[in-house]
Amino acid sequence: MTKITNLITEVDNSMKFILVGSTHPGNIGASARALKNMGFNKIELVNPKAFPDDRAFYRAKAAKDILEKTKIYTNLKEAVKDCHLVIGTSARYRTVPWPVITAKEAAYDILHCIKEREASVAVVFGREDRGLTNEELSLCNVHVTIETDPGYSSLNLSQAVQIMAYEIRQQTLSFLNSSFSQTWDVPLADSQETEMLITHFDEIMKEVEFYDTENPRKLLTRVRRFFKRSKIDHMEANIFRGLFAAIQKKLRNIS
Ligand code: SAH
């Protein structure tokens, strides 16, 4: 029993659930309740339309405490900057496809990243009417689409939160019984490090006039997708940053 409780606490301490641009405060409250039912205690908000709000606290029932200590951000980039694994949830496929996995696969990934790489993880949910923007989705390593009837794929926000939290709890319980565990030698790069790497790569591409800055088309999204999907570690990020800096130095000496 204590082993299970300890592992659930460890997973809870390494995770946060982020709601972006929620319109209905009732959904925020219901999401807090869904999380607490599954043993999770951290919910954070990006630009909620109405919060704090009595309707949120009413719907949270016995999970009011986790709403009381929520943090509010003005943008998602800031909210995930210290996270090593960012999972975006979306009912729809987007124009530049990102890796899309199931809720179960995401839960497996989350457990392994927390246990083997000491990662901080965020699971991100979008607006009730239009989900996450493409820009917000591009901050994520992978996307989860919860399997539904194709004719009606859009779940209520708090129900999507419930399913994700349930799967992560299930995975936590089965992790205890599995003997497979491998420790990686270097921690994962956090979101801010990966963002700096992408910006640096873009600088290099511009300096060597690799693309038409007036018309980059989908190039930058594809480069971003590559780095996000690779889930690079801290040392790999430093190797690339060092290489980019060396290229810049050479270029400056030439010109
Ligand atoms: N009409 C929106 C759906 C918004 S539902 C859209 O087309 O994207 C509000 C949020 O609940 C979504 O942003 C997502 O975070 C989550 N959600 C709803 N249905 C989902 C599904 N089938 N798979 C994954 N996430 C889902």
For residue 191, the model assigns a pLDDT of: 97
Question: How much distance in Å is there from the Cα of 155 to the middle of ligand 1?
Answer: 6
Distance from the CA of 98 to the center of ligand 1, in angstroms? 16
Q: Print pLDDT tens along the chain (255 aa).
A: 588 888 899 999 999 999 999 999 999 999 999 999 999 999 999 999 999 999 999 999 999 999 999 999 999 999 999 999 999 999 987 777 899 999 999 999 999 999 988 899 999 999 999 999 999 999 999 999 999 999 999 999 999 999 999 999 999 998 887 766 677 889 999 999 999 999 999 999 999 999 999 998 899 999 999 999 999 999 999 999 999 999 999 999 987
Residues whose CB is less than 8 angstroms from the CB of residue 116 and which lie 6 or more positions away in sequence, other chains included: 181, 182, 183, 184
Helices H / strands E in the chain, number of each: 11, 7
> What is the 45 CA–ligand 1 centroid distance (Å)?
16
The tokens describing 248, both together, are 């810049």
Please give the distance, rounded to the nearest whole angstrom, from the Cα atom of residue 113 to the centre of ligand 1.
24
Is residue 21 lining ligand 1, measured as CB closer than 6 Å? no
Q: Is 40 in the pocket of ligand 1 (CB under 6 A)?
A: no
Q: Give the position, in ligand 1's atom list, of the atom nearest the Cα of 88.
A: 15
